[in-house]
Structure 1
Amino acid sequence: MARPLRETGRLVEVVRTCIGCRQRADKTTLVRVVAVREPTTTVVTPDPHGTLPGRGAHLHPTTRCLELATRRKAFGRALRVEGPLDLSAVAALVEDSGPTA
């Protein structure tokens, strides 16, 4: 996703860092996730359109990056939430996205 710079008008790629593998990538190749608070837990929800309110984090939609982020407890840190996290919605998205890269 390229956008023009205000000062020069040149196109610039929007780059984000995957919380799993810590690699920088174009924003369009990553999935944004946000934390949605429920009464007993916090649900980490995919935000494919980037419109949900709150702090977001980005993740490659691969099993490898999901496992790395889970093992490193990166979701809680990146989203600045504490307590139990429900990652089932993100896991379902990763499974549906195909190859495990």
Structure 2
Amino acid sequence: MTRRATTPEGRRRPPTRGERRAPVRIPGPVAVGLSPVARERIPSACPEPSALIGPVRTCVGCRKRAAKSELLRVTVGSETHGQPVVAPDPQGTAPGRGAHLHPTVECYDLAVRRKAFGRALRVSTGLSSAPVGEYLASPSNPRSTAPPP
């Protein structure tokens, strides 16, 4: 006969290290063919980090993860009048906080529509993202996916 986990006053006490609690069964209908314990693993929409080589970053436009080398880094710069703007940093060497973006017009438009540049770069004032748009639209952009005019 096993001892019950009770105190001298008759109250239940928590189990000690050697004792195990019995599983709790919840009464109710059980679907036929489904085990309450077995769970199916649903694959993630993003590739596993181990599948990507090198540093991994998230695009602020589409929110998909990609290798750092595939993305364009943008930082906060200033225009000629001193207003803050989102500036492209193709070499990735500019100082300060940066955000990453797929070098496509679609991801750029998504980032502008979602106002993602201000959040990612942690700038509360209005940012102009025109320099990044011009950079992506220019035919001299080596990463551009836009067809030449």
- Do Structure 1 and Structure 2 share a fold, with TM-score over 0.5? yes
| TMscore range, shorter length | 0.7 to 0.9
The answer (yes or no) to whether the contact 1:41–1:83 under 8 Å persists in 2 is no
Deviation at 1:99, TM superposition (A): 2.8
1:59 to 80, 101, 118: 101
Separation in structure 1 between the aligned mates of residue 73 and residue 90 of structure 2, nearest angstrom: 6
> What residue identity is the alignment partner of 2:146?
P
Unaligned runs of 5+ in 1: 1-11
> Letter of the aligned partner of 1:50 in structure 2?
G
Match for residue 7 of structure 1? none
Question: Alpha carbon RMSD of aligned pairs, Å?
Answer: 1.7
Q: TM-score, normalised by structure 1?
A: 0.79
Q: Where in structure 2 are the equivalents of 1:65-76 lying within 5 Å?
A: 65-76=107-118
Which of 43, 46, 70 is residue 29 of structure 1 equivalent to? 70
Q: CA deviation at 1:89?
A: 1.1
Figure out how many residues of one structure are paired with residues of the other and give that number: 89
Distance 1:29 1:13 in 2: 11
Q: C-alpha offsets along residues 50-86 of structure 1, whole Å, 9 cap, x if unaligned?
A: 1111100000011110111011110000000022212
Point out where structure 2 has 5 or more consecutive residues left out of the alignment.
1-52, 139-143
Q: Is the 8 A contact 1:19 1:78 kept in 2?
A: yes
The aligned residue for residue 54 of structure 2 is 13
Q: Distance in 2 between matches of 1:89 and 1:61?
A: 13
Q: What amino acid is the match of 1:63?
A: V
Q: Which secondary structure does the structure 2 equivalent of 1:89 belong to?
A: helix
- After superposition, where does 1:77-88 map in structure 2 within 5 Å? 77-88=119-130
Q: CA deviation at 1:98?
A: 3.1
Alpha-carbon contact 1:35-1:42 (below 8 Å) kept: yes
Structure ranking higher in helix proportion? 1
Report the identity percentage: 54
Q: Which has the larger radius of gyration?
A: 2
Distance 1:40 1:50 in 2: 22
Equivalents in 1 of 2:124, 2:78: separation in Å? 11
Name the structure 1 match of 2:47: none
